[in-house]
Chains A and B, each alone.
Chain A
Amino acid sequence: MTTPLSLHVRPCSPGGEVEFELLLDVPSDLRYVGPAVELIAERCRHGALSPRRIEFNLRTALAEALANAIAYGNRQDPSRVVRVRVEAGRAWLRIHVTDDGGGFDPAVVPDPTLPGRLEREDGRGLFVLRSLVDHVTFNEKGNSVCLTLRAG
């Protein structure tokens, strides 16, 4: 890991729906997942979400989304980055994670809790992601995910 992560904070117009935005480019190397998550969680600690939801739900869900984008989207290609954009509202947080890959169809990912799949090492990422946030949407191409966590 040689590239330092640089978080860009963009204040938004007062009175608007979004209070501030965070922008972060993450190199396509899985070792950046932990540091990128900490950088964003730290900046979100004084926002809408409770400390417990930041420490667990946000950190775990963001780690899943980043790992998927780096491993499956960008296939760990060092010439590509994963783009993270966080919109912080007064009552919610929206996190967009976008890769340069061809996308995938989230509807065809099998349920990892089925008896035949329970002892598999992989295949739980999307399930965990969906379990920990209030809303998950993908763009049509399937290379950008938006996670919404409501206040509380």
Chain B
Amino acid sequence: MPFSLMQKKPGVVMVGVDGQLIVGNRQELKQKVLDALDGGTNKFVIDFTRTGYIDSSGLGVLVSLSKKIREQGGDLRLAGLNDDLQTLFELTKLDTLFSIAKTPEEALAAFSP
């Protein structure tokens, strides 16, 4: 499965993206995160350490999830982007929209206990 959700500390779920986040699978990620949001979790870290590439549909789903999560008083943080993915976020100026941490541990630590 390309997406794994794991509760890493109370109220915070880490989402791992294995392989790619693209037009063909973005809906699956969206549904999994929305289900967790419905279940009461509103803090998320998306870990891209094991991600090869993200297309514009994948970027779009992150934008829409972030908006929904913020509307419910939560936050979505990104982590583990390699240099190419970091450049993609900078080119599209989406680095101004998201909190991006170097590692998933740093992103997790940024959420207060």
Contact = CB atoms under 8 A, between A and B. Distances in A.
Interface of A: 30-34, 52, 55-57, 59-60, 63-64, 67, 71, 112-113, 118-122, 124-125, 127-128, 131
Contact of A67 (B23, B61, B64): B23
Interface of A, helix, strand, loop or mixed by DSSP: helix
Contacts of B24: 30-34
Contact of B93 (A31, A57, A113): A113
**Residue picked from B20, B22, B54, B64, most chain A C-beta under 10 Å:** B22
Contacts, number: 78
A125 B20 CA distance: 16
Interface of B: 20, 22-25, 52-57, 59-61, 63-64, 67, 84-85, 88, 91-94, 96-97
**Residue picked from A52, A60, A122, most chain B C-beta under 10 Å:** A60
B91 A118 contact: no
Contacts of A63: 20, 22-23, 53, 55
18 contacts: A30-B24, A31-B24, A33-B22, A34-B22, A55-B53, A56-B85, A59-B52, A60-B55, A63-B22, A63-B53, A63-B55, A67-B22, A67-B55, A112-B92, A113-B92, A119-B63, A124-B56, A125-B56
A124 B97 contact: no
Nearest to A132: B88
B92 A127 contact: yes
